[in-house]
Amino acid sequence: MNLFEKASAKLTAFTSILIFAFIFAACSDSSTGPDFDPGMAEASYAFNEGQLLGDVNTAYRGEHNRDLMSTIMIEENEDGTATITYTLNNTISGETYPVHGHDAADPATTPNGTPYIEAPNSELSTMITGNGGSVSSTIETETITYNELVNSYEGFYVVHDPTQEISTTDLTTYLILGIYGQSLQAGSPEQRSETFTYSFNEGQLLDNPDTAYEGEHPRNLSATVVVEEQLNGLATVMVTLNNTLDGQTYPVHSHDAADPATTPNGTPYDEAPNSQLSGMISGNGSDASTTFETSSITYMDLLNDYEGFFVVHDPTQDISTTDLTTYLILGLTTR
């Protein structure tokens, strides 16, 4: 065999090897070419009722309708990246929903102790404008692969409330709160409540007998205040007076705390009662109640931040907002 024939034989053999390798690769790699079979994954999310963390304190509180739900559809692209379709159901028409993926993080390393990076992952985030029903948005990842997203990505899926100022720390503003790529089952709406009891005014609040009640009303009157959370975050307040006088009408007030240097009579509260936390109770000779709802004071604000005085005035005397000896009950509101 001459040199040409030897070279030709080697080329033929090499070509055969290349053809075999190509056929083998084509058969074994379905990620590209006409036989590409894209992977797909889907997750569905119910409304945030605190079920992710099993804590009612993380449940949504706001005015948005609670039937909003969401799905994530993740589809593999030929280059290994992902196409993501977010769908929101039962949206409010005209409202724009921030939809975010937040990378998981060590709470010890984040500014506010969140288990995620507060700045959303730009590749996993979008904005969706509601239409009154179901609406979707599709995005493409650039560096995050489908395999990473489905099998190893750790993060949270959040749909923020478009009717409130956006927060990345207050979980009660999240319409959806779940693990990214993992379905979240429905939870049950739960309302929190706290009960406070008040004894008759014997001057004990200020530890001053000169502020104790003076009058003809029986001194066995007491009060109970039950504060219940509404699902919109506001509060329902029920005041019950025990051992009332039949036919007498009791003014029941909360007075906002104030600097005595700024009030007309040096009282440590505004003499005009807070209209959201006031009512009248008609005595019946036993236990009698009234209920009022706040319009801007939230349940959490009332329990944690509100500073004021809870007063039950004597219906048998002229009402006074300065003479503490006319107060049947004198205590701190929700304390």
**pLDDT score, position 191:** 87
| Token reading at 279 | 């009512």
Distance CA 75, CA 86 (A): 12
In the chain, the domains with their CATH numbers are 40-179 (2.60.40), 193-332 (2.60.40)
User: How large is the average pLDDT for residues 179-206?
Assistant: 94
Burial level of 257, CB count in 10 A (0-12/13-18/19+)? Answer: middle
| SS3 at position 74 | strand
Q: How far is CA 189 from the centre of its chain?
A: 12
**pLDDT score, position 18:** 31
The pTM for the full model equals 0.72
Please give the residue that has the higher pLDDT: either 6 or 231: 231
User: How large is the average pLDDT for residues 166-192?
Assistant: 95
Q: What is the pLDDT of residues 99-122, one digit of tens each?
A: 999 999 999 999 999 999 999 999
Confidence class for position 2, pLDDT limits 50, 70, 90: very low
Q: What is the pLDDT of residues 319-333, one digit of tens each?
A: 999 999 999 999 999
Q: What is the pLDDT of residues 270-323, one digit of tens each?
A: 999 999 999 999 999 999 999 999 999 999 899 999 999 999 999 999 999 999
| Token reading at 74 | 């993740």
Q: How many other C-beta atoms can be found within 10 angstroms of the C-beta atom of residue 18? A: 10
User: How large is the average pLDDT for residues 29-33?
Assistant: 45
**pLDDT score, position 24:** 33
**What spatial distance separates the first Cα and last Cα of the chain, rounded to whole Å?**
106
